[in-house]
Structure 1
Amino acid sequence: MSVPEMGPFGVVVTGIVAIAIVYKLVQRWRFKLPPGPRPWPVVGNLLQIEPVRFRCFWDWSKKYGPIMSVWFGSTLNVVVSNTELAKEVLKEHDQQLADRPRSRSAEKFSRNGQDLIWADYGPHYVKVRKVCTLELFSPKRLEALRPIREDEVAAMVESIFNDCGKQEGIGKPLVVKRYLSGVAFNNITRPAFGKRFVNEEGKMDPQGVEFKEIVATGLKLGASLTMAEHIPYLRWMFPLEEGAFAKHGARRDNVTKAIMEEHTLARQTSGAKQHFVDALLTLQEKYDLSEDTIIGLLWDMITAGMDTTAITVEWAMAELVRNPRIQQKAQEEIDRVVGRDRVMNETDFPHLPYLQCITKEALRLHPPTPLMLPHKATQNVKIGGYDIPKGSNVHVNVWAIARDPAVWKDPVTFRPERFLEEDVDIKGHDYRLLPFGAGRRICPGAQLGINLVQSMLGHLLHHFVWAPPEGMQAEDIDLTENPGLVTFMAKPVQAIAIPRLPDHLYKRQPLN
């Protein structure tokens, strides 16, 4: 039987596959790579990875060890899953691993890394990081914005009370996420833009709808390129939709510039406010910030903070409903410090150590970004005795590290008391617990995130007792995660809220 001749297309494809295979073999001969699952030709391990990626990597680490090679197409990705290796990545070799791998969509969204999240490590990143640390998230500015945070949490409490405090709402289970999403969204957009897009009834104004749609469109555009990002020689099958990206970018810029212009006009009459947009416009000349960088920074705040706060609080509430002992202990502490005749505020936090422990335990057991955004090797480095070639991506599985029985007692148990027994830093200094990352790429808004989570949790516990819906046992609450970059609950938690304070303390007092 004669072998059919290949056409030009077949020859090209065969040649590309052959080159890819040879390239991989050369890498394996030249470098001592970490062990890992056997990759398939062309696609690598992509088809073997389970949807909830961080759990899949955790399972694989039990077989291959705490440092693994995982091939996304032709790109080597190294995943580390214990404290010692995380310290090597984020401290000892931090400078060589400080870049971010940018996909084609990230290139477009960040204007080639002109923001903070996707910027390469270098003079631009150092400058923008300095703006965030010294200007945007300074203790002075966070304190100045505290009334906004407390106002939004008060609005959330009033909304819950309106739904459960009346006769028709008593005993009716509430979808907790519904109340958290609005306050989390406003708690990012108000400090950033001075705009309250969601009203007391949870309805969004047109500009808020536009914001949400822009975020959703960006996610959709990015997802449409996923397979092609990992297999460069298949990109001709998944072309970059230049028109769609241009339209999305213009839409984002238009709504942001309109707000920037509003603030510029307002400053001419009433002076600068503490909102982030005012700070950036005021500092634009001092730090030589381009318009692309200002817009990029504002959208970094939206995308990084919009979901993560709500996610953390929802997981914490699910655990508190499952653990009434912990809930009661927290309420007893709040009653001792705050009492039942006033509303708590952020100045109470230092006197509420158990509430702080609940926040830490929620961030440990359910980190909102379980796999840190990847780091990119700018030169060959060694991690855990293995070679990490230049151009490889390195992921830190913070979810797995926080469940490592070698460093945590009863790691899968929600037990806030562990942080009373030992003080563990959560802002990048203790590599057992890394919800905000560490090193040069640590989240600059960590303290803002902690304040928001503690405030939301504290008010929810102070104002209400939370119980499972009638007929459901606490242990039946589903604690599985949705696939994705952030860990939404697969099934939003429902609970019955029972008011525990005088009625007048549920009324929001609008800011002057």
Structure 2
Amino acid sequence: MAPLALLLLSLPVFFLLHSLYYRLRFRLPPGPRPWPFVGNLYDVKPLQFRCFADWANSYGPIISVWFGSTLNVVVSSTELAKEVLKEKDQQLADRYRSRTATRLTKYGQDLIWADYGPHYVKVRKVCTVALFSAKSLESLRPIREDEVSAMVESIYNDCTAPGRSAKSLLLRKYLGAVSFNNITRIAFGKRYVDTEGRIHKQGEEMRSIADNRLRLGASRPIAEHIPWLRWMFPLNEEDFAKHAARRDRLTREIMEDHNIARQKTGGAKQHFCDALLTLKEKYDLTDDTIIGLLWDMIHAGMDTTAISVEWAMAELIKNPRVLQKVQEELDRVIGNERVMTELDFANLPYLRCVAKESLRLHPPTPLMLPHRASTNVKVGGYDIPKGSTVHVNVWAVARDPEVWKNPLEFRPERFLEDDVDIKGHDFRLLPFGAGRRICPGAQLGLDMVTSMLGRLLHHFTWAPPSGVSPEAINIAERPGVVTFMGTPLEAVATPRLPANLYQRTAVDF
């Protein structure tokens, strides 16, 4: 018998034995019935978080979903999220990595995709010391405020240009520029997008590398989750090698520039790249780890802030009552003779509630990045075998009608009535995760979202495009690990403050 025919005949036996092993040894959570070989791969809809939420309504708040021969456990309630991320956190803190993620991160040499262990603890401490401590965040405040000012100036110039009155703007263009510049200035001390939207050559290369990473990351689900078939769908190792070489070449050029500058200045300016190079010997950091951490910053910060603000602005334009109320607060606290700064946040409780409510309804990563069980563990009374992938559906948790009154309503007042922590201590709301794998940049992200929203709302009146009612704004999601609006938001901006408050004064750092 030919080897291929023998293999095809043996596959059903492998599948049957594999299925029987799990069913006899473990008490697995309920879930949709898997098909032979492919499991539930072809039952899962593109918006996985919505699909999993629908299945949770049928099978309960903890479900089993099979991607080929890979068991995925999805939890969708506050109690189970707490069990996964706090009570059983240590056993579930490893990271599931696909074949492509393994190659793109050089087997988890960074922070985001590293398994939990000595390397992860070390690099997380480095990131906290170098960038995310309260002292570091305060020292970076001038950069954040400067980039938000640049965004305001750019919008003002475009909406007041001759012939542009009452014409709608594509908001994502401005939000993307401020997010990208903020991250690159924090990481490298460089601004790559100017106020006219032109991008520096090095910035173009950085964006191109980031886009290529997304392309390479789109692996074939069958080959990824059915190991027996991987020989039929091998990864193109040459593509991964070229990508790594291109990324490393650009990053090493930047690192070398920083080494030269540090020698000249004595290390006076401490961008994230400088800080990592300074701490390299103390923490025994390899170049691969430094490069991985720098690109973690780029990938994590380039889109998520812009996504969050775009969702919030869409909800505000759809809800004029809320928009008017937050602008009344800004006018009362800030007035019309100065611009808002982050130091004003403490006196703007409703603005902070608007940011929270938007992150509740539209978390940028609605399915938390996948965890992996490092040992057999029980969750919700069910067995989670070692090696299983575990997801927390933070989108479903934040819309649970058992926890939230009128959960689909955009109502920031709910956070005035109940002060819900947003940074991993209250498991009703988890846009940044919780436990050992909580996003270390949670405070930075929240500050940027609040600052961008405050300035957009203080400086401009916002309305839908001509002929479009607020209710008609499309807030459907686009599939992906991070969830963009499917239809980019267009809106008409009208200045509402004196003209001198729209001029940016550049800040050097």
Q: TM-score under structure 1 normalisation? A: 0.98
SS at match of 1:18: helix
Please list, as runs of the form range in 1=range in 2, the aligned pairs for 1:279-298 lying within 5 A after superposition: 279-298=275-294
Query: Per-residue deviation at 1:227?
Result: 3.1
What does the per-residue CA deviation read over 1:122-172, in whole Å, with 9 as the maximum and x for residues that have no partner? 111111111112332111111111111111111111111111123411110
- In structure 1, the partner of 2:92 is 97
- In structure 1, the partner of 2:36 is 41
Q: Which one of 70, 79, 89 corresponds to residue 75 of structure 1?
A: 70
Please list, as runs of the form range in 1=range in 2, the aligned pairs for 1:484-495 lying within 5 A after superposition: 484-495=480-491
Moved more, 211-220 or 308-317: 211-220
Query: Per-residue deviation at 1:351?
Result: 1.0
Please list, as runs of the form range in 1=range in 2, the aligned pairs for 1:122-201 lying within 5 A after superposition: 122-201=117-196
Cα distance in 2 for residues equivalent to 1:220 and 1:17: 33
One-letter code of the match for 2:348? L
One-letter code of the match for 1:95? Q
SS at match of 1:511: coil
Query: Per-residue deviation at 1:206?
Result: 1.1
Please list, as runs of the form range in 1=range in 2, the aligned pairs for 1:34-433 lying within 5 A after superposition: 34-272=29-267, 273-433=269-429
SS at match of 2:493: strand
Contact 2:100 2:219 in 1 (8 A): no
What does the per-residue CA deviation read over 1:458-490, in whole Å, with 9 as the maximum and x for residues that have no partner? 110010010111111101111110011011001
One-letter code of the match for 2:345? F
Contact 1:465 1:500 in 2 (8 A): yes
Contact 1:316 1:359 in 2 (8 A): yes
Q: Which one of 492, 506, 509 corresponds to residue 510 of structure 1?
A: 506
One-letter code of the match for 2:337? D
- In structure 1, the partner of 2:434 is 438
Cα distance in 2 for residues equivalent to 1:121 and 1:211: 28
One-letter code of the match for 2:143? I
- In structure 2, the partner of 1:3 is none
Cα distance in 2 for residues equivalent to 1:464 and 1:190: 26
Cα distance in 1 for residues equivalent to 2:313 and 2:284: 43
For structure 2, the residue ranges without an aligned partner over 5 or more in a row are: none
Query: Per-residue deviation at 1:240?
Result: 1.6
Cα distance in 2 for residues equivalent to 1:480 and 1:463: 27
Cα distance in 2 for residues equivalent to 1:386 and 1:511: 55
Cα distance in 2 for residues equivalent to 1:67 and 1:49: 16
Cα distance in 1 for residues equivalent to 2:400 and 2:270: 42
Query: Per-residue deviation at 1:189?
Result: 1.1
Query: Per-residue deviation at 1:274?
Result: 2.4
SS at match of 1:127: helix
Cα distance in 1 for residues equivalent to 2:48 and 2:79: 22
Cα distance in 1 for residues equivalent to 2:333 and 2:477: 35
One-letter code of the match for 1:141? S
What does the per-residue CA deviation read over 1:188-226, in whole Å, with 9 as the maximum and x for residues that have no partner? 111011111111111211111111111111111110344
Cα distance in 2 for residues equivalent to 1:385 and 1:364: 28
Cα distance in 1 for residues equivalent to 2:16 and 2:393: 28
Cα distance in 1 for residues equivalent to 2:50 and 2:7: 38
Cα distance in 2 for residues equivalent to 1:403 and 1:111: 37
One-letter code of the match for 1:187? N
One-letter code of the match for 1:220? R
Cα distance in 2 for residues equivalent to 1:493 and 1:443: 27
- In structure 2, the partner of 1:470 is 466
Contact 1:145 1:274 in 2 (8 A): no
SS at match of 2:329: helix
Query: Per-residue deviation at 1:288?
Result: 1.1
Moved more, 101-110 or 90-99: 101-110
Cα distance in 2 for residues equivalent to 1:21 and 1:266: 62
Q: Does 2:16 match 1:21?
A: yes
SS at match of 1:330: helix
Cα distance in 2 for residues equivalent to 1:65 and 1:435: 22
SS at match of 1:306: helix
Cα distance in 1 for residues equivalent to 2:225 and 2:20: 18
One-letter code of the match for 2:224? E
Cα distance in 1 for residues equivalent to 2:282 and 2:164: 54
Q: Does 2:430 match 1:457?
A: no
SS at match of 1:78: strand
For structure 1, the residue ranges without an aligned partner over 5 or more in a row are: 1-5
Contact 1:144 1:274 in 2 (8 A): no
Cα distance in 2 for residues equivalent to 1:190 and 1:125: 25
Report the count of equivalent residues.
507
SS at match of 1:304: helix
Moved more, 136-145 or 456-465: 136-145
Q: TM-score under structure 2 normalisation? A: 0.98
SS at match of 2:280: helix
Query: Per-residue deviation at 1:175?
Result: 1.1
One-letter code of the match for 2:328? E
Query: Per-residue deviation at 1:14?
Result: 2.1
